[in-house]
């Protein structure tokens, strides 16, 4: 009965991870993001000319394949510096530090675009669970959970006034054949889109540019209600 209740109310891994990520991290750091970017821009006025990019770009690979070093993931991504740290007392840890790294992304014309970017860390947990026999978590279940994680996080953030306009979710499926600069091109698409959005606002126009990236509408089509991820164990344990 408890298992059936969990299935009906969607109390599964992805929902828990999305809410934990939001409450325990994003809700803390995103409201401070604009101020941190403004401080950096005052000291480095030429690096972040487009204010629409003054947000945290969160990478969500549906494969859950997360690199600890973005520079090793793609040589067109180069670390620049860290933004201003936020220090808080948190769950018994005094002076816990939250910080974000600024990267330079090289486009196909060898121009550098700067932004704060990082992976959604809960995806590491999904990947680790799929590698651990105790979790009984298959690769297919991991993919479905990753999709649901993205959809849930997107819904949570859309309803958060504190985090409005301080983030951009970048969900993507990696190509079957490895591409050297796939990740930098994916990030670049979003940065260029933000740049066009800012120009449209300045000119008083409404931008209608179709997205080539994954969005929740696409994911809704890919996952039917009956195909939603199930709890890890349905055998009574």
Which stretch, 4-8, 151-155, 230-234, has highest mean pLDDT?
151-155
Lowest mean pLDDT among 58-72, 85-99, 216-230: 216-230
Average pLDDT for residues 52-61, to the nearest whole number? 94
Report the distance separating Cα 165 and Cα 31, nearest Å: 9
3-state secondary structure of 229: coil
Continuous segment of H or E residues that includes residue 102: strand 101-106
Report the distance separating Cα 168 and Cα 221, nearest Å: 21
In the chain, alpha helices (H): 2-8, 13-21, 27-29, 33-43, 70-73, 122-131, 139-158, 182-203, 216-222
Phi-psi group of 11: left, alpha or beta (phi > 0 → left; psi -120 to 50 → alpha; rest → beta): beta
Count of residues making up the chain: 237
Look at the alpha carbons of 193, 197, 203, 207 in this order and tell me if their dihedral is positive or negative.
Answer: positive
pLDDT at position 219 is: 56
- With beta carbons less than 8 A apart as the criterion, state whether 62 and 143 touch: yes
Model confidence pLDDT, tens digit, residues 9-27:
445 789 999 999 999 999 9
- With beta carbons less than 8 A apart as the criterion, state whether 153 and 120 touch: yes
Q: Which residues contact 220 (CB under 8 A, 6 or more apart)?
A: 151
* CA–CA distances in Å: residue 125 to residues 39, 161, 194: 33, 28, 30
Q: Which single residue is written with the structure tokens 């994911």?
A: 219
Average pLDDT for residues 69-98, to the nearest whole number? 90
CATH class given for the domain over 7-206: alpha beta
The domain segmentation of the chain, as residue ranges, is: 7-206
pLDDT at position 237 is: 33
């Amino acid at each position: 009965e408890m298992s059936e209740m969990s299935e009906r109310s969607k109390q599964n891994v992805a929902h828990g991870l999305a809410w934990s990520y939001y409450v325990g991290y994003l809700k803390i750091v995103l409201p401070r993001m604009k101020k941190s970017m403004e401080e950096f821009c005052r000291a480095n006025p030429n690096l972040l000319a487009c204010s629409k990019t003054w947000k945290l770009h969160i990478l969500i690979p549906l494969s859950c394949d997360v690199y600890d070093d973005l520079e090793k993931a793609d040589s067109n991504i180069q670390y620049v510096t860290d933004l201003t740290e936020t220090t808080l007392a948190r769950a018994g840890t005094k002076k816990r530090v939250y910080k974000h790294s600024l990267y330079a992304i090289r486009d196909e014309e060898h121009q550098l675009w700067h932004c704060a970017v990082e992976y959604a860390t809960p995806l590491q947990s999904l990947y680790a669970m799929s590698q651990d026999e105790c979790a009984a978590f298959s690769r297919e279940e991991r993919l479905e959970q990753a999709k649901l994680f993205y959809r849930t996080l997107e819904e949570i953030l859309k309803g958060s006034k504190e985090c409005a306009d301080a983030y951009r979710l970048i969900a993507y499926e990696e190509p079957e054949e490895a591409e050297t600069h796939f990740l930098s091109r994916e990030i670049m698409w979003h940065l260029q889109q933000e740049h066009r959005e800012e120009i449209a606002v300045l000119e008083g126009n409404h931008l209608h540019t179709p997205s080539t990236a994954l969005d929740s509408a696409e994911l809704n089509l890919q996952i039917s209600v009956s195909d939603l991820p199930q709890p890890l164990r349905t055998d009574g344990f």
